Amino acid sequence: MKYLKHVGKYFLMLRQVFKKPQKWSVFREMLFREIEDLGLKSLGIIAFISFFVGGVVAIQTALNVDSPFIPKYLIGFATMRSMILEFAPTFMSVILAGKVGSYISSSIGTMRVTEQIDALEVMGINSLNYLVLPKIIATMFFYPLLISLAMFLGIFGGYVAGTLTNLFSSDDYLYGIRLDFDPYYIQYALIKTVVFAFVIATIPAYHGYYVKGGSLEVGRASTQAVVWTSVVIILLNYFLTQMLLA
């Protein structure tokens, strides 16, 4: 019952968010700011993690398929598929849910408890539209780029791991990643990414916006935001996979 109330309130919030911005020039300025805060500033961590995850996946696969009947190019093939299908879109989105989600909910939550949101409203500004819409557009536009980079770096990480450990040859790996390549998989991954980006921008915004109390509650809301964003991403991942691939 309680959850249902939150879901209802969340959708009511979205109705206020998706209004025409009151001033386009201000919207544009906010958008660029958000692209920097929510996107560019996550580039480093996403590049770092995806590179090493790719390396580990390649090594694990190499160690686990240590049988003469299984061809070595399977390592490249498996790394490629798992990076594109799951690790880049889903795993990285969960990481972003932690990093960006806590940032969004604590920054909006702080604005709420220090009455900055009230100050916006008193001026006659639609605070939800002003604060949240640029975040949604920024993440939905930028995360596909970010996740594509993660795919590439993950696969590259696998390649580097192979050359460093000599567990498989780079020729096998390069052959494997080109094997049976289907662009639809990329499409599928990017569709997921866009949906997750929406979730990462809106669920933490919801938690921050409706905070009541002081800094303690802001902290609590930000934890809640990360938990719920991750849960929703994982659930949506399941349904989207079933819908798009099965």
Partner 1 sequence: MIEVTDLYKEFKGIPVLKGVSTTFEKGVTNMIIGQSGSGKTVFLKCLVGLHVPDSGIICFDGRKQKELDIKEQRLLRQEIGMVFQGGALYDSLTVEENIMFPLKMFADQSFSERMDRVNFVLKRVNLENANKKFPAELSGGMQKRVSIARAIVMNPKYLFCDEPNSGLDPNTATVIDNLIKEITEEYQIITVINSHDMNSVMEIGEKIILLKDGVKEWEGSNKEIFITENEAVVNFVYSSNLFRKVREAYLKETK
Nearer to partner 1, 26 or 243 (CB): 26
What sign has the CA pseudo-torsion 206, 45, 166, 85?
positive
* 54: exposed, middle or buried (Cβ count in 10 Å: 0-12, 13-18, 19+): buried
The interface region with partner 1, picked from 18-26, 39-47, 155-163, 214-222 by CB under 8 A, is 18-26
In whole angstroms, what is the distance from residue 78 CA to residue 80 CA? 5
In whole angstroms, the minimum distance from the beta carbon of 110 to partner 1 comes to: 8
Q: In the set 6, 9, 23, 178, which binds partner 1 (CB under 8 A)?
A: 23
Q: In the set 6, 22, 40, 171, which binds partner 1 (CB under 8 A)?
A: 22
> Could you please report the per-residue DSSP string of 113-182?
HTTHHHHHHHTT--HHHHHHHHHHHHHHHHHHHHHHHHHHHHHHHHHHHHHHH-SS-HHHHHHHHHTT--
In the chain, the amino acid numbered 17 is V
Q: In the set 63, 119, 235, 245, which binds partner 1 (CB under 8 A)?
A: 119
114: contact with partner 1 by CB under 8 A: yes
Nearer to partner 1, 33 or 178 (CB): 33
In whole angstroms, what is the distance from residue 201 CA to residue 137 CA? 9
- Count interface residues toward partner 1 (CB under 8 A): 17
243: contact with partner 1 by CB under 8 A: no
The interface region with partner 1, picked from 63-71, 113-121, 204-212, 224-232 by CB under 8 A, is 113-121
Residues near partner 1, by CB under 8 A: 22-23, 25-26, 110-111, 114-116, 118-119, 121-126
